[in-house]
A and B are shown apart, each in its own frame.
Chain A
Amino acid sequence: MTRDDEFRAWTQQHRQGLVRTATLLTAGDGHTAEDVVQATLTRLYVAWPQVRLADDRSAYVRRALVNAFTDEMRARARRREDLRSEPPDGAVPLGAVDPDTLLLYDALRELPDRMRATVVLRYFHDLSVQDTARTLRCTQGTVKSQTARALDKLRDRLGPALGPPVVRSLPADAPPARPADRTTDHPTDGTALAAVPAPRSVA
């Protein structure tokens, strides 16, 4: 099997998961999410021998995705500085989306990029503080403080969408929730980025 064959087969299996994570990272901006995923996949292709040999392929791919996201957001910030008249990104080209999701994207959009990434890694990918710090290449203390500040902002913005009772004293290093009614978890092997439930109807 050639690199192309291997890469194509892997991408077919995991691309949707990457797009979903990127969509959360970009607060529902589907176009930017696709750009981030394309950049990630290009880097993975170039580094395929390392991807193939990675002890934890899932962690490798997550880092590549977060790095591509960070680079993309920096590039967009620079472009906005150069072209002040350019309309801001942030549209949600997702078709019919439930109101809670729109509210979530609005709230996520108000977080700084790195803080948003912390939330996605901790509460969507169920990563520990340690693994989140490794992925973001920062200290565990930074992850804890970013998480705490993000949760405060999200509580203020989302209010009832997070559901009663509101717990003000949520510790930033509390483990991500693993509710029993979730249809799947995020495994630690190479499938993690694709491991969200099958799409529900968005019609």
Chain B
Amino acid sequence: MTRDDVPHDATALTDLLTRAATAVAAVPGDELLDDDVRRGRAARRRRTLGRLAGVGVVAVLGVGLSLALPRGTTAPAAAVPLVAFTGEDVTGFELEVVPEGWRVLTSHAGDLVLAAHDDDGARPGSFEGRIAIMLTEEQYLPGAPDDAVHVTAEGRDVLVFATTGTSPSQGVSVAQPDGSYLYVQVPAEVRWSDQQAAEFAVTVGVTPEAVVGVG
């Protein structure tokens, strides 16, 4: 159908709608944009914490679990629960939650390191006893042993395995849409199950600024 075939009232309706829309002056100011961002961040945090509460990984459920133990029972060392991350934005990655009492130690476009509150920050290049987060290619992922497990977290397939190294830790890899892998190394100190480690890993976002490491 050519333009000449378009019925007149359709043309008139389009014009009426366009005129009405054009009369709406709604150029957003800084305050309105700030509010949009704030609402988005709050909703994202609620969603993450709500999801993690469902799998028992956030702080409030950790408390509930310990209270539910029979009197006289010695509780096993509890997993460090996750709490909302309230620090400054980090480079290359997005953090929604962190282990309770943990903080960002170093942040670069290629890697992000979290440390416990009593970590004095010595040997900043070491991942021992710390959570290391990086983006890498499949060929550079630490070799996953045969007993690596596939865990589903937020509908995503996550591979979790014990790493070989000087200190015990879990290696967690999450495939990214561009073919790279988010790799998270979790130290034994946090005492997370494979499921908990995977649930944490899928909360970590990757931004376009993240640099893919090569080893």
Q: 1/0 contact trace for A159-203 toward B, CB 8 Å? A: 001111111001000111111101000000000000011111010
Give the CA-CA distance A33 to B28 in the complex, in Å.
Answer: 14
CB-contact partner of A12 in B28, B205, B207, B209, under 8 A: B28
A interface, by DSSP: helix, strand, loop or mixed?
A: helix
B89 on the interface (CB 8 Å rule)?
Answer: yes
Q: Which residues of B contact A119 (CB under 8 A)?
A: 13, 17
Q: At the interface, yes or no: A111 with Cβ under 8 Å from chain B?
A: no
CB distance from A84 to the nearest CB of B (A): 31
Q: Which of A14-22, A57-65, A68-76 contacts B (4 or more CB under 8 A)?
A: A14-22
Interface residues of B in 8-40 (CB under 8 A from A): 8-28, 32-33, 36-37, 39-40
Chain B interface, DSSP helix/strand/loop, else mixed = helix
Instruction: Return chain B residues, CB-CB under 8 Å to A158.
Output: 16
Known contacts: A2-B89, A46-B40. The answer to whether A175 contacts B1 by CB under 8 A is yes
Residues of B in contact (CB 8 Å), total: 44
- Min CB distance B8 to A, Å, is 6
Which residues from chain A sit less than 8 Å from chain B, CB to CB?
A: 1-4, 6-8, 11-12, 15-16, 19-21, 23-24, 28, 30, 38, 41-46, 48-49, 52-53, 94, 97-98, 100-101, 104-105, 119-120, 123-124, 126, 151, 154-155, 158, 161-167, 170, 174-180, 182, 196-200, 202
Extra A-B contacts (16), CB below 8 Å, given A24-B17, A162-B13: A20-B21, A23-B21, A38-B36, A94-B24, A119-B17, A151-B13, A155-B9, A162-B9, A163-B9, A167-B7, A167-B9, A170-B7, A174-B5, A175-B1, A178-B6, A178-B14
- Bound together, the chains give a CA A123 to CA B28 distance in angstroms of 25
Q: Which of B41-49, B52-60, B98-106, B118-126 contacts A (4 or more CB under 8 A)?
A: B41-49
Q: Is B157 an interface residue (CB 8 A)?
A: no
CB within 8 Å of A: which residues of B? 1, 3, 5-28, 32-33, 36-37, 39-41, 43-44, 47, 89, 94, 177, 205-209
